[in-house]
Structure 1
């Protein structure tokens, strides 16, 4: 394996934009990127990643084949390369429409650019190959995001309200205890999806941002949430439940009976999911109800850990835990059945997962919330939602959806005519 120190090159979004422009100029596949708290680093970027559509079953198999159960073999935190991919939320909506982009896609890169915790950049190659000349040239001149625009349609408040009310009825009837009811903003992109992601990641600094693209479209995830981290036998998941706008006093989040109950119910669901494949007695909760910032909001975050025997494949772990507990409900199977009728449209990549399986660093996957799905035709879909419990208020739940959407929908252009940061009100019908 080859590891070269490159020095201080600039922020991950700007490095990504420079590499993307250079790849495009050479007719190469676009880069893939993980930006934020991935593998103990600040960013992991594959300079050019050809992607192919796969099935949901192949997603887990590829995570295994490319080292998803690996023990880290470099104390310096090297990632080296690996398999980047996404997996969509599996259920359809009430309209029965098919997926807008492939249910899953991914690709292999034998090299990455990695920014460490001190801001230093490294080039790493699993095969020992040298840094490509075109990548080296692009890194000398990091670029800002290019111009883009997205015209967003109104989200459907009435349908969301009906879903929340029906969820409350199901809770009162004892069918479920909690469920995550979602809605969507649909839009049209004028420009390149990579420019949207670069701009949004730079503005909002999400903890689990991810970008993947191909001739099928692109996935731009601005997620704050860890779904699964697997390093050898050790597995962790950090579900998010409980939300307040950033303008609110974060101390009131821990004091909210509704938000605390919502989080603890999902923690129990994650414990149950992981216990299906974990060694008996190994499931623990090392962190409960931490208050953390995320783009536009405060969240309650907990962490569940488990020891999963090395002979248990990633496919089995995904069968036990996917889709993520925090975006489904309790009990999970019944909540998913009901959500198919309460939500008008298929969620798609939203509430699925995006991540990387590395043969030298293990596997990390996010929960694909705050995620925009771009079709090859320039269509854009953003999903938002929140957990409903017995004391939820439909109007407050709608407000929570808007608080989560504003950092994305509230900035509709990034060009000379409308500078980044102009934020029209988020409309809804």
Structure 2
């Protein structure tokens, strides 16, 4: 593989410039993963065609970017159930901030890509949001509590959604949001089918050689409160441990026996607008385990379903007012060397071609849950995204 050093530049600026140049040249737009991806600070496909139904390959020969939507009521979501595409070349930003061009076909870096690392481009955008109705969400939480009391489930993730309208550039909306909130696993994808702007803090799966890791999040607190309150919360601690056990079970289906371990338990991490409790489960996979087999064993992510997973999913379909779509699925990249990196598609905005937008929010319910507090948690999680303002409000517009 050909790799060429290009120099430093902020990832959101690079995405904005690539969006400008692909539009100027009539090329498919860029896809961007900003945060912690494939051991880098950012991975960007400068130009890539992402099509409906192009799903994750087992043995990619190029770099695959795409998403897997939440599988329940998948055909009723605002965007296609899956979308993806492949490219022979990417930009990736190492931990020092330096960009590299890498091509599996040894293709040289185009001049317009080089220009994107030194140019500044800004486009206007705005989003007008409407909150979900409180009553149906609280009723779903009450139904979940009844099911827990009856012994049908121990925990379940109940979701609702904000609706909105995006005017202007979705790519610049994402770039500005990633610039301000700096989430760990943010992702931007676009195509004729619409666009996805994900500001996720959560890792679903990272696979490197035979080692796979998953870092479920359970436990949330507003960022202005003392994070030690999370560790003092019996509800949050119990919920996190329940989901850790579910992840251990999921990975155990395809792991070498005896290799599933918890390498991080109940660690407090900051995320946009909130504190989270995060744990990490690691396992060793047999060499013959394919990406499809790994996904079949673990998807949808444990943290956005419930325990036991199958019954929780059945009940969620009846409790929730809206299909989730891309929200609570997974977004990411598969590399030709066998590496795989996927987020949990939370804090994720789905934008249809007409600009209509959906932002899913939710939270895990246990027997100790208070419906009013759970509703407030949804608002807290959404606040960092619905509070974003267009870059034009802070700097001038030049394109």
**TM-score normalized by structure 2?**
0.96
Counting only pairs closer than 5 Å after superposition, residues 107-118 of structure 1 correspond to structure 2 as: 107-118=85-96
60, 65, 70: which one aligns with 1:84: 65
User: Where does residue 27 of structure 1 map in the other structure?
Assistant: 26
Partners of 1:373 and 1:176 lie apart in 2 by: 29
Counting only pairs closer than 5 Å after superposition, residues 70-149 of structure 1 correspond to structure 2 as: 82-92=63-73, 98-143=76-121, 145-149=122-126
What is the count of residue pairs matched by the alignment?
395
Q: In the alignment, is the contact (CA less than 8 A) between 2:19 and 2:29 conserved in 1? A: yes
Partners of 1:269 and 1:327 lie apart in 2 by: 11
User: Where does residue 378 of structure 2 map in the other structure?
Assistant: 401
Q: In the alignment, is the contact (CA less than 8 A) between 2:6 and 2:114 conserved in 1? A: no
Partners of 1:297 and 1:361 lie apart in 2 by: 34
Q: In the alignment, is the contact (CA less than 8 A) between 1:92 and 1:345 conserved in 2? A: no
User: Where does residue 6 of structure 1 map in the other structure?
Assistant: 6
251, 273, 279: which one aligns with 1:274: 251
- For residue 146 of structure 1, report the CA deviation from its aligned partner: 1.8
RMSD (CA atoms): 1.4
222, 227, 242: which one aligns with 1:245: 222
User: Where does residue 299 of structure 1 map in the other structure?
Assistant: 276
Partners of 2:183 and 2:294 lie apart in 1 by: 26
User: Where does residue 285 of structure 1 map in the other structure?
Assistant: 262
User: Where does residue 336 of structure 1 map in the other structure?
Assistant: 313
**TM-score normalized by structure 1?**
0.90
- Look up the SS of the partner of 2:76 in the other structure: coil
- For residue 415 of structure 1, report the CA deviation from its aligned partner: 5.2
Residues 325/349 of structure 1: CA separation in 2 closer, same or farther (3 Å cut): same
Partners of 2:251 and 2:55 lie apart in 1 by: 19
Counting only pairs closer than 5 Å after superposition, residues 113-192 of structure 1 correspond to structure 2 as: 113-143=91-121, 145-192=122-169
- Look up the SS of the partner of 2:55 in the other structure: helix
Partners of 1:331 and 1:111 lie apart in 2 by: 41
- For residue 99 of structure 1, report the CA deviation from its aligned partner: 2.6
In the alignment, is residue 390 of structure 1 matched against residue 367 of structure 2? yes
User: Where does residue 66 of structure 1 map in the other structure?
Assistant: 60
- For residue 39 of structure 1, report the CA deviation from its aligned partner: 1.4
Query: Residues 224-281 of structure 1, C-alpha deviation per residue, up to 9 Å, x if partnerless?
Result: 1100011121111000000000001011111111100010000000000111111111
User: Where does residue 206 of structure 1 map in the other structure?
Assistant: 183
Q: In the alignment, is the contact (CA less than 8 A) between 2:77 and 2:326 conserved in 1? A: no
Q: In the alignment, is the contact (CA less than 8 A) between 2:270 and 2:276 conserved in 1? A: yes
Partners of 2:131 and 2:212 lie apart in 1 by: 39
Partners of 1:342 and 1:227 lie apart in 2 by: 24
In the alignment, is residue 414 of structure 1 matched against residue 395 of structure 2? no
User: Where does residue 424 of structure 1 map in the other structure?
Assistant: none
Partners of 1:302 and 1:99 lie apart in 2 by: 30
- Look up the SS of the partner of 1:65 in the other structure: coil
- Look up the SS of the partner of 1:346 in the other structure: coil
Partners of 1:274 and 1:42 lie apart in 2 by: 26
- For residue 92 of structure 1, report the CA deviation from its aligned partner: 2.0
Partners of 2:100 and 2:177 lie apart in 1 by: 24
User: Where does residue 72 of structure 1 map in the other structure?
Assistant: none
- For residue 193 of structure 1, report the CA deviation from its aligned partner: 1.0
Partners of 1:415 and 1:296 lie apart in 2 by: 19
